[in-house]
Amino acid sequence: MSDKTIFKRIIDKEIPADVVYEDDLCLAFKDIAPKAPTHVLIIPKKEIATVDDIADEDAALIGHMWIVIRNLARDLGLEEGYRVIVNCKEAGGQEVPHLHYHLLGGRKMTWPPG
């Protein structure tokens, strides 16, 4: 990636975010335009643009992120249920070209989502 995305700038601490979790591999922070009472974005620190760009060697990282998502849902009190969304590319609804998962909860989710 040539230009830094807003997520890379958050990882690099160039711009602030309401961080709820961080480790060596990923970062989680509150969405600035939440679509549910709880809306957290979970991003890898490694720059991966889309789901299509996940490499085979990223399997451990992606698995780790799912464990983080599960733990965050528990820590944030989402025991009644939650939704995890990942969009891929612009036509799929992805606005920032850096892989990210949306963790939404705190209300009843409906289908279809959009």
**Which residues belong to the active site?**
100
Give the three-class secondary structure for 9. helix
* E-state strands within the chain: 19-22, 26-30, 38-44, 82-85, 101-105
C-beta separation of 109 from 81 below 8 A: yes
Is the dihedral angle over the CA atoms 43, 49, 51, 55 positive or is it negative?
A: negative
Tokens at 31, concatenated? 């969405």
